[in-house]
Structure 1
Amino acid sequence: MWRSEAADETIESAGGLSRHQLPWTDFDAVARGEGGPEPVRKLRAAERSRRLLLLRGLVEVSAKSEDSYRPLPSPEIAWELLARVERTAPHALETILAHPYTGTWAGYTTRLCRQDITGVCPFWVHLGHLHCLAAAAAVRGEIPFEAELPVWQGKAALPTLGIAQLRTEAPFSVARIRGSRGRVEISNSRSRVRLPANLSADTPGWLGVREAVAWSDDRRLLVRIDDLDPYRGLYEPIRPERLSPVEIESWRTVLADAWQLLTRHLPAVAEALPVGLDSLVPEPAVPFRLPSASTGEAFGSAIISYGEDPAPLAAALVHEFQHIRLGGLLHLVRLNHDDPRERLYAPWRDDPRPLGGVLHGIYAFFGVTSFWRALAAAEPDNELAAFEFALWRGQVWRTLTVVRADESLTAAGRRFLDGVAEKLLPWQKESVAGAPRTWARLAAADHYAAWRTRHLRPDPGTVADLAAAWRAGVARPDSAAAALSEPSPTPVPDGDWHDARTDLIRLRLGVDGRARFAAHGSAVPGATEADLRFVAGRADEAAAGYRQLLAANPDDPAALTGLGLALAARSTGPAARALLHRPELVRAVHRLLREESRSTPSVEAIAGWLGRFTH
């Protein structure tokens, strides 16, 4: 059983300490992606107490120095208002404490305070957000109050409710808010905004936070679609990015469809997810992709780009819910010792990752795998679902197998990964149709080879020996064994790369895939004519196209990998092996030969030679 000291369960007694407990049974259930809503409630309770500690710490430290909060009143005033809300309308306080961006703000501002830096705004503006939180709680609790709020570029925020837009020429200023008998006004010297009775509505000077409600039988998903809160981003405060009425309705529609998929195909996850997800930050659509993100400080929030297809959105919701669960768990228990080195390959990222990031990715994509597995089983003709299942079950298992032996894991971390493995291992043996399985294997090889090309640097001495051996016509040089050594990755990439071929594969395998591939394939960012030929199944034509690209730029990571894939589609010859398993070595040797001689062999020739003794 894991325990964590945290703040007591009230504002007024926040100086006291209690213990949050998570039994091993709950820990193991979370690791397996199971357990229902109860473990999530326990994680949320611990997160509430953590936020109280951060809030109280900020108040105690900053109240000692007027320079930290002027021209606003002392943060003690905001704390006292929160205490009033707790006494008269505790539900309103709970809503504000549970708000994901209360956590983001508390973590961000605490770091500013400890590091003695200002951040995006003057420090008093960040610290003054506590007054915004207290005022929002008072508005929700319908208690009479007065307060002063920080104003950023004319915007005064009431978290969970909306923002008031005031006239001001100053980038940072102060406004007054008054609430009495159901009437709330925010004003400065030049303007006055009265909040509407329906706070989610837009009225002159007011933009309300809107919601989406999705039903599937008796199961409900209720989330705020928050495009206003200044602390809704990943790293630092951001300005409002208002969705139009058409855009908000489009989000509601696709969320409803995604919720139907989740409740139908992953009912256990759908039972727990509404307890852990209450806010969604909408991002603009990204062509042919659906990126998403979250942060451990914003328990309950997911940042997701818009897409019209509900299946990828459902997968993204599961993905971010996994991050939310693990983020909450990590506030109670350490799964790994501190190790910031960017040293591990993660198939879902283009850069090397530290162990902690890889653990998050394993757990998130374990959830993604479970969704696509369920959808593929329910829809046997859905080639895209089968491809996604085959791709991610292999990628997650490959990464988990490497990480389970890492010395930086704690005992709890190994136990956690054992729980993931318990569910994931049997999935490796499940049947997947031939074409999706083949495309998944190629997509995995594509990503890994491109990552090696960009982030591994072969030993210069070995490269020089191999180049000399090539010039001397040696079939198997003495340095052949040294060529098999694995260099440590560097986070600095050598060359650009777009994962365009995998985007094209998804386009081809989706609904009306062949027609959509023919119509829209050339619009996929980064896709070349050779890529289109490869995904169309014309490997020989693709290989010719990649040779032309390499003749113009022999260092192009995408063309190097593409040639390897095209050659491998016809045979498993030495050039294909080298280009897919030692591409960084092929490029390094070819690069040195180019520098030393006017007459340079082709990349394919070097790959064919190296492939005879590197595997």
Structure 2
Amino acid sequence: MTRIPLPFSQFVVKVHSRCDLACDHCYVYEHADTSWRTRPKSIGDEVLAKAAERIGAHAATHRLGAVRVVLHGGEPLLAGPDRLRLAAEALRAALPPGCALDLRIHTNGVLLSRRFCDLFAELDIKVGISLDGDRAANDRHRRFADGRSSHPQVLRAVALLQEPAYRHLFAGLLCTIDVENDPAAVYRALAELRPPAVDFLLPHATWDDPPKRPSGPDSTPYADWLLAVHDRWEADGRPFAVRTFESVHRTRRGFTSLTESLGLEPSDLVVLETDGTFEQVDSLKTAYDGAPATGYDVFAHSLDDVAQHPGIAARQSGLAGLGATCRACPVVRTCGGGLYAHRYRSDDGGGGFDNPSVYCGDLMALINGVAANGGSVSLPAQSAAPVVPSALADHQLDELARGYGSADTIRALGRSQLALTRAMLAAAWDASGQGRGEAWSLLAALDVAAPAAVDAVLAHPYARAWAARQLAGDLGTGLGPLAALAAAAAVRVGRGDAVAVPVRGGWLHLPTLGRLALPDGEAVVTGTADGFTVRTADGTLRTVLDEPLRRVRLAGGWTVALEDVDPLRDSHDHAVSTRLTGGELLDWTGALREAWELLGRDLPGYAEGIRAGLTTVTPLRPGPAGRDVSSAARQAFGAVGIARPATAPTLALLLAHEFQHVKLGAVLDLTDLYDRDDDALYFAPWRPDPRPLEGLLQGTYAHLAVTEYWGTRTLAYDGLPGEAADRARREFALWRRYTAEAVERLAGSGALTALGSRFTDGMRATAAPWLAVPLPAAAERAADRARRERAAV
């Protein structure tokens, strides 16, 4: 299979190609593209079935954890309930196990009824409504063909979605900007409807057909309009999500954009028309007739075929795909050149889209205006906490490059990770559009009163794991985990602060503390001087944890948590264990104590860093017989997952191996060791499949510790017979070769930065002396056999 730059994870499926309104700013019917005239009004059964099959196969091939499908038009409600049911059921049935479906419908709302809403509730279809503001603003463009207003029907649709039975279906409002509408009036009209989100959209325009500018060509009326809305939105405490504003805040601080119209993230969206043809984004319809066409269709082409279309590639090329003017612009990483369609000009010598956006001046003014008006991603009480942590000192980076890391160096990594966690939590909260909610306000207040308590909770490894999921679009847990973090901090502070926390799956979880068994719903947690109280909706009062988080105290004062209660601990690549029984806890305690003693004896250069940075061991379910299972989650600094092995020496090895991954992940958050745009694949000596460069780097770094572990044991067995000694020599012979070969493969990749080359030199310096240790010929022959057997797999 040919590799593609980026798999699709968002799909727009046109279920109906006509509309019951005649909006004069519609890009489908009122702009340059006329392909709608020749397409079937409604999508056919065969097209739907094949589309679901293609999406399911694409998700399986690329192991997608979730896909988003938007049922669109024209007006999709014209397709009728039966066809919408068919679409939803076909899509859900075609997805592979483990791939979630985020299914949405975007409608003008005119036909929305209780029958449709019942269907959407049954099939879990979220609903977005187009509305341009109050009646005067909406009627400027959104009318029926005979001139009648659509505003009353749209308000009825929104009122229906506000009913308790349907409120969870309401995805938000889409408002197309007209600068002749009063921004304050538009904002008030939309805010009064209490939407979860509002998208303010620039009207589609190109250099051939520019947007109206009442005050002249050099004015920035769209920025002025949006900034007026932004000021009111900020003053109201951000009562709903606005992707445009949040994307400006996020991209200025190095995070991803939430919208294709800003930022440099590659597009991962494709459109399916009612006739089964694949198209690029709909906004291209405003450029020229046929602009979105790919020449591909659902029957003859896979989605991987579509992903290789030049037009798709152009929208995935980031900074390199922009013209020289844009690349030199100081706000390019936020602006991203604007929406691709808005760059089109027909008379530019054939470049087509190789231009700044027709909204260039507005985008510049908007970004600078939002920046000037604030918008922080750190906790309000900790504005001094860095969003991008300071770099490691040279000697610390050199320590880490050698595979080691003193306690001070690992603590420096921990501080940088805590700062990043704070930034990611704030970004996740910003993206929720919840404004200054109860949980966030409490966390901010406690951050002023007792920052150490807040730090202790936010340093919990799975706090960042939740933020990473939210920012990646996995919203299944909602904001409950952040409320739980605030509650845990309140309990630690113990000054009487209270916060409501959702109870899900029969448990209320307090990170770093434990959990209580409660009926699902909501409970109020209050931190008291003596501990806490938890009050449920029926008045039940609880003051004791049913399952506290258990910790093992090891020699030298090191304490490690055995995390078997956090619902977010499933961040590892393997299934997590259930709550440990009393006997299992005793087994773990004994194994950890013995493993820690072995680490101090056999790997002292690694043990110091492990003690300083490893706070949490998450028990995993056992693997197949004879196979050890362990994992480090990229977004959970300080934690490793391990299925308790049969022997303490193996546990010591797994702890050292996985903590290497933890350390290197933190280093990669601070430094660029390799070209992030390098998409080549590299073979690791110990694996049959090629991997991206980071995979080779991670494996090599982890195996520095593996090599030293077996090397130290080999030296301890020097001259002694027996199976344990022979095994140590065989493993040492194998892993020292693997590691040395992998170091040279990294060095010869051509993709390392200057720091990456220096880092690789450090790994080479650690691996080299082990190559000089003499071994019996039998051990070398055994290593050769093992290499051949692995290569044949």
Scaled to the shorter chain, the TM-score interval is 0.5 to 0.7
Query: Which residue does 1:305 correspond to in 2?
Result: 643
Aligned with residue 345 of structure 1, among 666, 672, 683: 683
Q: Give yes or no for the alignment of 1:443 onto 2:779.
A: no
Equivalences for residues 396-545 of structure 1 within 5 A: 396-450=739-793
Whole-Å separation in 2 of the counterparts to 1:291 and 1:96: 28
Change (3 A) 1:34 1:238: closer
Matched, 1:93 2:438: no
Q: How does 1:74-113 map to 2 (within 5 A)?
A: 76-112=437-473
Which residue type is aligned with residue 248 of structure 1? L
- Kindly indicate whether the alpha-carbon contact (under 8 Å) linking 1:133 and 1:158 is maintained by their aligned counterparts in 2: yes
Residue equivalent to 1:481: none
Q: Within the alignment, does 1:210 sit opposite 2:550 as a pair?
A: yes
1:462 alignment counterpart = none
Return the offset for 1:337. 1.6
Partner residue, 1:57:
427
Residue by residue over 1:526-557, the C-alpha shift from the partner in whole angstroms, topping out at 9 and shown as x without a partner, is xxxxxxxxxxxxxxxxxxxxxxxxxxxxxxxx
Distance 1:388 1:314 in 2: 15
Looking at structure 1, the residues matched to 621 and 512 of structure 2 have their Cα atoms a distance apart, in angstroms, of 21
Report matched runs for 1:141-180 at 5 Å. 141-168=493-520, 173-180=521-528
Q: Whole-Å Cα distance in 2 between the matches of residues 366 and 314 of structure 1?
A: 14
Instruction: Indicate yes or no: 2:589 matched with 1:252.
Output: yes
Aligned residue runs from structure 1 range 31-50, under 5 A:
31-50=401-420
Residues 340 and 309 of structure 1, relative CA distance in 2, 3 Å threshold = farther
From 10, 13, 28, give the equivalent of 2:398: 28
Cα offsets for 1:65-88 (capped at 9, x unmatched): 5xxxxxxxx663222222333333
Equivalent position SS for 2:748: coil
Rounded Cα–Cα distance in structure 1 between residues aligned with 2:705 and 2:591: 20
Q: CA deviation at 1:46?
A: 0.8
1:295–1:327 CA contact under 8 A, matched in 2: no
Q: CA deviation at 1:9?
A: 9.0
The aligned counterpart of 1:289 is 627
Deviates most, 283-292 or 266-275: 283-292
Output the CA distance in 2 between the equivalents of 1:164 and 1:276: 28
Paired residue type of 1:210: R
Q: Does 1:270 align with 2:607?
A: yes
Deviation (angstroms), 1:344: 2.0
Aligned to 1:325: 663
Tell me what 2:733 maps to: 390
Q: Pick the aligned partner of 1:371 from 680, 691, 709.
A: 709
Separation in 2, partners of 1:109, 1:256: 36
CA distance in 1, matches of 2:670, 2:762: 18
2:554 is aligned with what amino acid?
Answer: A
Cα deviation for residue 246 of structure 1 reads 0.4
TM-score, normalized by length of structure 2? 0.49
Q: CA deviation at 1:16?
A: 6.6
Q: 3-state SS of the aligned residue for 2:664?
A: helix
SS in 2 for 1:150: strand
- CA–CA distance in 1 between the matches of 2:468 and 2:568? 10
Q: What SS does the corresponding residue of 1:20 show, helix, strand or coil?
A: coil
Q: CA deviation at 1:11?
A: 5.2
Note the C-alpha offset of 1:193: 5.9
TM-score, normalization: structure 1? 0.63
Tell me by how many angstroms 1:34 deviates: 3.0
- Distance in structure 2 (CA, Å) of the matches to 1:443 and 1:191: 64
Matched letter for residue 385 of structure 1: A
SS at match of 2:670: coil
Residues of 1 paired with 2:734 and 2:677: CA distance?
Answer: 28
- Alpha carbons 1:40, 1:275 under 8 Å: kept: yes
Could you say if the C-alpha distance between residues 294 and 322 of structure 1 is closer, same or farther in structure 2, counting changes exceeding 3 Å?
A: same
Task: Please tell me the residue identity of whatever aligns with 2:745.
Answer: V
Alignment partner, residue 494 of structure 1? none
Which has more helix, going by share of residues?
1
CA distance in structure 2 between the aligned counterparts of 1:248 and 1:131, rounded to whole angstroms: 29
Say which is worse superposed, 374-383 or 16-25, in terms of deviation: 16-25
Contact 1:315/1:372 (8 A) holds in 2: no
The alignment's C-alpha RMSD in Å is: 2.6
- Shift of the 137–147 alpha-carbon distance from structure 1 to 2, 3 Å rule, reads same
Deviation at 1:441, TM superposition (A): 1.8
Number of corresponding residues: 414
Q: Is the 8 A contact 1:276 1:300 kept in 2?
A: yes
Identity of aligned residues (%): 32
Please say if residues 231 and 237 of structure 1, whose CA atoms lie closer than 8 Å, have aligned partners that are also in contact.
Answer: no
d(CA) in 2 for partners of 1:151, 1:240: 21
Query: Separation in 2 of the partners of 1:97 and 1:49?
Result: 9
- Deviation of 1:194 after TM superposition, in Å, equals 2.2
- Deviations along 1:176-199, one digit per CA (max 9) or x if unpaired, are 222333242334335846243xx6
For 1:75 and 1:256, how far apart are their aligned partners in 2?
Answer: 45
**CA–CA distance in structure 2, aligned partners of residues 310 and 319 of structure 1:** 14
Indicate the SS of the match to 2:524.
strand
| SS of aligned partner of 2:499 | strand
Question: 1:185–1:351: structure 2 CA closer, same or farther, 3 Å change rule?
Answer: farther
CA contact 1:31–1:416 (8 Å) conserved in 2: yes
Amino acid at match of 1:208: P
Q: String of CA shifts for 1:76-107, please: whole Å, max 9, x gaps.
A: 32222223333333332121121111111111
Alignment deviations for residues 342-392 of structure 1 (CA, whole Å, 9 cap, x no partner): 722224445321111110010011111111211221233422222222111
Between the aligned partners of 2:560 and 2:667, the Cα distance in structure 1 is 22
167 and 371 in structure 1: CA distance in 2 versus 1, 3 angstrom threshold: same
Tell me if the contact between 2:734 and 2:784 (Cα under 8 Å) persists in the aligned partners.
yes
Shift of 1:409: 1.8
How far off its partner does 1:39 sit? 1.2
Bigger Rg over Cα: 2
Cα distance 1:339–1:352, how it changes in 2: closer, same or farther (>3 A)? farther
The answer for the alignment partner of 2:273 in structure 1 is: none
Q: Report the 3-state secondary structure (helix = DSSP H, G, I; strand = E; otherwise coil) of the residue aligned with 2:558.
A: strand
Distance 1:183-1:278 versus aligned 2 partners, 3 A rule: closer
Superposed CA deviations along residues 311-345 of structure 1, whole A, max 9, x for unmatched, are: 11111111111111111111100111225757222
The amino acid that maps onto 2:529 is: R
Of stretches 14-23 and 233-242 in structure 1, the one that deviates more from structure 2 is 233-242
Letter in 2 for 1:432: L
Q: Distance in 2 between matches of 1:211 and 1:351?
A: 39
Q: Is the 8 A contact 1:304 1:316 kept in 2?
A: yes
Amino acid at match of 1:109: Q
Q: Distance in 1 between matches of 2:557 and 2:563?
A: 19
In 2: Cα distance, 1:373 partner to 1:332 partner: 31
Tell me, what secondary structure is at the counterpart of 2:509? strand
Structure 1 position 292, deviation (Å):
0.9
Amino acid in the other structure paired with 2:506: G
Specify the code of the residue in structure 2 equivalent to 1:21: A
Matched residue type, 2:468: G
Moved more, 147-156 or 347-356: 347-356
Contact 1:47-1:299 within 8 A present in 2 as well = yes
* Displacement of 1:221: 2.9
Q: Distance in 2 between matches of 1:193 and 1:448?
A: 61
The separation in 1 between residues aligned to 2:438 and 2:558, in whole angstroms, is 36
Identify the residue that residue 480 of structure 2 maps to in structure 1. 128
